[in-house]
Every structure is written in C-alpha cells, then in structure tokens.
Structure 1
Amino acid sequence: MSERLENAFFADPHVYYRRWRQQGPVHRVDFGDGLDRWIILDYDAGRAALADPRLGKDIERLGEVLARKRGGTWVNSRPSDSLRHMLNADPPAHTRLRKAVAKAFNARRVAALQPVIERTAFELLDGMAEYDQVDLLDAFAAQLPVTVICHLLDVRIADHETFREWTKALVGTLDPQAERAAAHDEMVEFLRKMLQDKRADPGDDLLSELVTDTDALLSESELVGMALLLLVAGHETTVNLIGNGTLALLRDRAWWDRLRAEPALVPAAVEEFLRFDGPVDLSTPRFTAEPITVGDTVIPAGEVVYIALAGANRDPGHFAAPDRLDPAAERTAHLGFGHGPHFCVGAPLARLEARVAFTALPQRFPELRLAVDESELRWYPNPVIRALTGLPVRLAG
C-alpha cells in the first residue's frame, strides 16, 4: 500500500523522511496521480542506487514503464525533443552527450568565468541597494546565474524576466498545466531559432561548439534538449542554492555574522547548504530494468524509483546532528549534486556562483532580514526541485 503525497510535504519534506525512515530505507508513495513510486531514503542505499546500472534513465523505456502503470501504451505519448538530453539517457547515448558538454564545465573554463560572476554579482547588489526591500530571488538569486549561463552559451535574451518566467513555469508545478505547456513551447521555439542562427554563424560559445561538434554528432532533437537542459538546469539549481542557503542563514543569524567576519568559511558553508536544504529534493526518476533489493525490500522490475537526495543528506546514520546547520563542519560527502554517472556536470559552476554570492551578500548587506514572517513563505509543489516561490528581505535592520 502506497502513501499519498500531501501538500505539507513541500513545506517540510524532512518531517516525512524521518517518519518513513523508521519503516526502512525505501518507501512507496503516490504523488497524487494514482501511480506508485519508490523513494529511497537512506544515504548508503541512495548513493548506491545513483550509480546502479539496473536503474535506467532512458526516456523511451521510462515512458513505457509509466504507460504500463497507467494501463495505456507509449506509442501515442512520444517524448518531446526537449526531453531528449543526457539526464534522460543511458550509456552509450549518455556517455556521448555528457562528453559533448563536460569540457565546458572543467576547472579551467569555470575559473575563467569568475570575473564575470563577480562583476555581475556586484552590479546586482548595487541595484538592490536602491531599495529598502526586495525579493532576493528575483533581484539577485535568479539574475546572477541567468546572466552567467547566458554569457557561457552566448544566448541573447533581451528580457531576462521572460526567461525566468519560462523556467518558473517549467519547474514550479507537478502537473503539466496550460501555462507550463505554453512556456515550454515558447522556449523550445526560441531555442530552435537560436540553434539555427548558431549553425549559420557559429561563435566562441558552448552552443556553437555543440552545433559544430563532428564527433558528438548531436541530432536536432538532442541539440534542442541539451540547450533547454543547460539553460534551465544551468541556472535553476543555483537560484535555489542561493535562496535556500540564505533562508537557512537568516534563521540562524550567528552564521550570517560569522560568514561576514570569516569569508574563508564560505566554500565549506556552500557545501553545508547543499546538504542541509539543497536545491534538489528528489532525484529525477529512474526505472528498474530488473528487480533490485533495498534493505529488506525487493523492488520489482518495471517500477519507477526516486532517490531522496534531501533525505539522504540528513540521514542520522551518516551525518551527526543532521538537522542542525553547521557550515564549519565541512560535511562535503553529501549527495546535493547526485552521484555516479549522472553527477551534475554543472556543479563546479554552481559552486563558484554560490561562493561569490555568499561572500558578497553578507559583506554588502550585513543587516539583511526577512521582510515577512517565515510562516508566510511558500515552496513550489514540485517533488524534485526544492524552491521557494519568493524570499522578501529588508536590506537594513
């Protein structure tokens, strides 16, 4: 018997993870659509599952599993081009697709972006200083990674707010609604035109490299899917890493003040934010290609499986005092960016952006405070993305 996911889960999933973990390292859940999913909760089991080749990611085969569970067929539900990317692929396709973009996120190329990231952060903070109160997500946390990823990809979006609205629509809800579908179609059309332009006149940027890469030989649908993945995942993770991390600090002013006094602690603090309340709650879905055993539970073949990254990162069997924020603890062995072949390829960039943000924010606005009672904050009803809908702050005490 599965448990139906309640709206309260999104406000504090850890209440559920603690309760579920008492029953074992895996729990069966209905997301509200009548389909059972399996959620792996513990650190060791989750880490192993993330690298287990018996848990597949191929979008076609996952679609067939979902269709069977719904009592239908997959033939009338082919995935759109935007879903054909490395996050939804198994080897050898995944290996080929990941290799095509991995070089853009190596240590040397990411380090070269630091001046752009710092300049962008300082300009955004200057703009914030004109106001007494702002929504930190809209004014800073979203604008920083959007600007940087558009620089990396040479995407000329005149109105970053439009881009932000697209991504909010895509990740903000669980069910595909009309607003989400419209945002998806607009973004895909924008990307198709952009890729055509780069094919005709390639530049010195990642998307031009992908279009002209004769080794990877990405198809048109793979190019669209990769472009959308890079633009959305390439900034959305950092938006919520900054937002969730800032909220955690504002709940515990002592750490805000300490980071301001000791900026050398910021890299360790970023790792702790990823562990304590990271931007990804559940992994993207996998399917069992054959039965697997988790603890004392056998998950049959043809089932949908998620790994609770947030749950694993607060597993008391792996972390001491897991529900306490401690940026000085240097708890780096978290699963905030996943593990195994699908470990987040953009992790070095997200880490650098977050380090710049958490160095600059406390220095520029030492008296930053929530502008509303914390009970008024809301979280998007998305089991994968851990994201606030807004973070109103006062810049002075």
Structure 2
Amino acid sequence: MSPEQASADAPNTSPVSLAALIADPHPSYAALREAGPVHRIIGSDGLPVWLVTRYADVRQGLADERLALDKRHATPGNYRGLALPPALDANLLNMDPPDHTRIRRLVGQAFTPRQVERLREPVQRIADELLDAIAPLGHADLVAAYAGPLPITAICDLLGVPVDDRHDFRAWTDALIVPDPDRPQDARAAVVAILDFFTRLLARKRAEPGDDLLSALIAVRDQEDRLTEDELTSLAFLILFAGYENTVQLIGNAVLALLQHPERLAELRADERLIGPAVEELARFDGPVPVAIRRFAREELTFGRVTVPVGETVLLSLAAANRDPDRFARPELLDLHRTDNGHLTLGHGIHYCLGAPLARMETEIALTTLLRRFPALALAEPAEQLRHRPSLRARGLLRLPVCF
C-alpha cells in the first residue's frame, strides 16, 4: 500500500504529531513530505485538518480558486477559529474575490517597491538608533531590543500611529497567535483592546488627518464610499499586525541562522552585495510562517490518491514546500548564492504578501546594519537552549540573547 493510500485509509493518523511539528518543524515536515502529499492531522484548535506538504501542491494551492479564505465555505462544525467582531474580521485574510480584489487594490499602492523605497532612510535611522541604545551594554535580547521594535516603529510611522498611542502590540498579537489554553480570557481581552484602540485611532485621524496611510484610507471610506466602516477598521488592524509580526520573526530567525552558520556569516560580512539573495535564502531556510492561513475546499480536491471533501480545512505547509528536494537542490543547506530560489515564504498568487517589499527592505537593513556595527556578534546562550513560540502558524524566537 502506498503512503497516499495509507493516509486515505487512516485519515486521522500521520507520521508526526502536532507537538513535533511545532517543536522540531523541519525534520517533521520532511517525514510528512516523504510519506505523502497530504495528511490528516489534528490542528491547534483540536479539529482535524488536511496538511499539504509538497512544493508543487502547495504552490498550486496558494493560487487555487477552489481553496477559499472566506469562513462561510467551511462545513458547519469543521472550523473553530477565534471569533473576531465584524470590525476586525472583514480583512483580506478572510476574503476572496471580488471583495479581496477591491480592497487589495486600494491599499496596494502604499506597498509598491517605489513607495517602500521612500521608507529606506527612516528605517535605516530606526535601526541605527536601536543599536545605539544597546551598543554600550555589550549584550542584548535582539528580539526585544531590535527585531521587534524596528518593524513596529516603521509600520506605525507609515500608518501615522502617534508615538503616544504605540501600545504593547506584541502582547496582543501573542494572545491571538499563541493563545494560552489555560487562559482563554486573554485572547478575548486582546480582541476588546485591539478594537478599542483602532476605534479611537480612526476617530482621531478623522478629526486630525495627516500625510499617512490611515488618513488616506479614511478619505477613501468617507469621500468615495469604497470601503465599509468594518472593512476600514479591519484593514487598519491587518496592516499594523501583519506589517510587523512576520518581519520580527524573519529578522530573528535570520540572525540565528547566520550565527549557527559562521561560514555563511563570513561570506555576508565580506560582501554586503549578497544581502538581497541572502534574505531570500534565509526566508526559505527558516521562514516566519510554517503554514499559510487556513483555507476551505469549495469543491472536492485530490492530492495524489487522497481526496479532500468539500468544506474541510486545508493547511498549505510553506515550511515543507521550501525544503522540498524535488524543487530545491540540497534544501537543508543554507546557500547565500542560491540563484533559483522560488521560495513560498511570502505566498503566491492573489494572496501574495502585500507587504513583501517592505519586509525585504527592513530585513536587509536590519541585517547589514547589525553585522556592520557588531563585528564580534555571537550567541550569549547555546542555540539548543533557545525556544520558539509554541505555534503552528508562527515560527519565531521568544528571545535571542547575544553579546557583542
């Protein structure tokens, strides 16, 4: 019997557990990828989902209109995600065309490569200021002191969030992405706090508009009526959180990977022109998003010999696809000179990451500035003692203690 047939005959079993996928993802995804193209696993919410593991299938799935983001396509009882109020739920991660197309077009102009390039100088200034603050100390937690505040500051500047209103966004994000099963009230409290924050912020921007993205979106909502009020609030929420969350993890994972591969680190120090391909390779090697946002089958789908029924939840494993040996030569090798790097970390198709140019630019600046300023940068603790966030959807370090 083939692995595909075995998976179909015993759909609630897989070669690895959910705990293993979170704790040690790359060997676990490799085992799944080898065993078959799709597996029935128990997801973080305790319900069964279909996990797709091979590059060709994942890439096709990311652009497949038969896989919907809208939760209304889920079979009743088949999805148990966090219930958001309408003012936060009407965002691009829950939408399909034509609404997705309309809203993405409105905000897409703010994230073109040309527009993002205008932010290069401010981002560089932020990076320098953050490193100035920790340089005299000789040691730091790079997640808390650098990888976290850099993209948060940049996206708040883009949106026009006043400095006094920049709350502990990461605590709110952790409550949503990595909920504590023993404290479900924390996630509910985070939702209430987020909605209150954006309601007050948008009211302030209406009263005192500025030269920023939020003011521009409010003008679209109020003057042209191309956004509903829920869509406006949801879009502001998504831009802020998606605009920094993945970049925090990408920077942290990239620094750790370089410190664990001193030959690659030496190559990048010797030639900063490598930074572009280096960021692409680091994103492929250990990206911030192990699986894409859940999707729901609009119609019956087949992977190999496995059939996914209508309305069931599908997870597309970006981490597994990015190390598929059928797509990448020596995928376990960190190769800063890799030329054919069609990784899927930032997605593919109409849901390709809107903030990809900004994330790339921020990561390039974060790495080059850090390595230039701290030539003796090293881990302050053994790598095996470091811990990642306990999440299937977010691959990021809790802390990254370094000395310099």
User: Shorter-normalised TM-score: what interval?
Assistant: over 0.9
- After superposition, the CA RMSD in angstroms is 1.9
Which string of whole-angstrom CA distances, capped at 9 and with x for unpartnered residues, describes residues 162-193 of structure 1?
22322233323375822222122212211111
**Which of 312, 316, 319 is the aligned partner of 1:307?**
316
Q: What's the offset of the Cα at 1:158?
A: 2.5
2:112 equivalent to 1:112: no
Which residue in 2 is equivalent to 1:350?
A: 359
**Which of 96, 119, 129 is the aligned partner of 1:90?**
96
| Cα separation, 1, equivalents of 2:301 and 2:253 | 34
More moved, 183-192 vs 335-344: 183-192
Task: From the superposition, tell whether residues 16 and 215 of structure 1 become closer, same or farther in structure 2 (CA, over 3 Å).
Answer: farther
**Which of 209, 223, 235 is the aligned partner of 2:216?**
209
Task: From the superposition, tell whether residues 216 and 340 of structure 1 become closer, same or farther in structure 2 (CA, over 3 Å).
Answer: farther
| Cα separation, 1, equivalents of 2:388 and 2:27 | 15
Which string of whole-angstrom CA distances, capped at 9 and with x for unpartnered residues, describes residues 172-227 of structure 1?
33758222221222122111111111122221111111111144621121112111
Which string of whole-angstrom CA distances, capped at 9 and with x for unpartnered residues, describes residues 11-56 of structure 1?
2211211111122111111025441101111111100001100000
Which residue in 1 is equivalent to 2:25?
A: 13
**Which of 189, 194, 197 is the aligned partner of 2:201?**
194
Q: Percent identical across equivalent pairs?
A: 43
Which residue in 1 is equivalent to 2:129?
A: 123
Quick one: which amino acid aligns to residue 22 of structure 1? E
2:57 equivalent to 1:45: yes
Quick one: which amino acid aligns to residue 283 of structure 1? A
Count of residue pairs brought into register by the alignment? 388
Task: From the superposition, tell whether residues 382 and 32 of structure 1 become closer, same or farther in structure 2 (CA, over 3 Å).
Answer: closer
TM-score, normalized by length of structure 2? 0.91
Quick one: which amino acid aligns to residue 108 of structure 1? R
* Residues 319-334 of structure 1 aligned to structure 2 (within 5 Å): 319-334=328-343
Quick one: which amino acid aligns to residue 59 of structure 1? K
Which string of whole-angstrom CA distances, capped at 9 and with x for unpartnered residues, describes residues 240-293 of structure 1?
110001110011111112211110001100000110001111000000010011
Task: From the superposition, tell whether residues 181 and 19 of structure 1 become closer, same or farther in structure 2 (CA, over 3 Å).
Answer: same
TM-score, normalized by length of structure 1? 0.93
**Which of 39, 59, 66 is the aligned partner of 1:54?**
66
Which residue in 1 is equivalent to 2:5?
A: none
Which residue in 1 is equivalent to 2:179?
A: 173
Quick one: which amino acid aligns to residue 145 of structure 1? P
Which residue in 2 is equivalent to 1:30?
A: 42
Structure 2: unaligned runs, 5 residues or longer? 1-10
| Cα separation, 2, equivalents of 1:232 and 1:342 | 16
Structure 1: unaligned runs, 5 residues or longer? none
Q: What's the offset of the Cα at 1:59?
A: 3.2
Which residue in 2 is equivalent to 1:248?
A: 257
Quick one: which amino acid aligns to residue 330 of structure 1? T
Partner SS, residue 158 of structure 1: helix
| Cα separation, 2, equivalents of 1:216 and 1:269 | 43
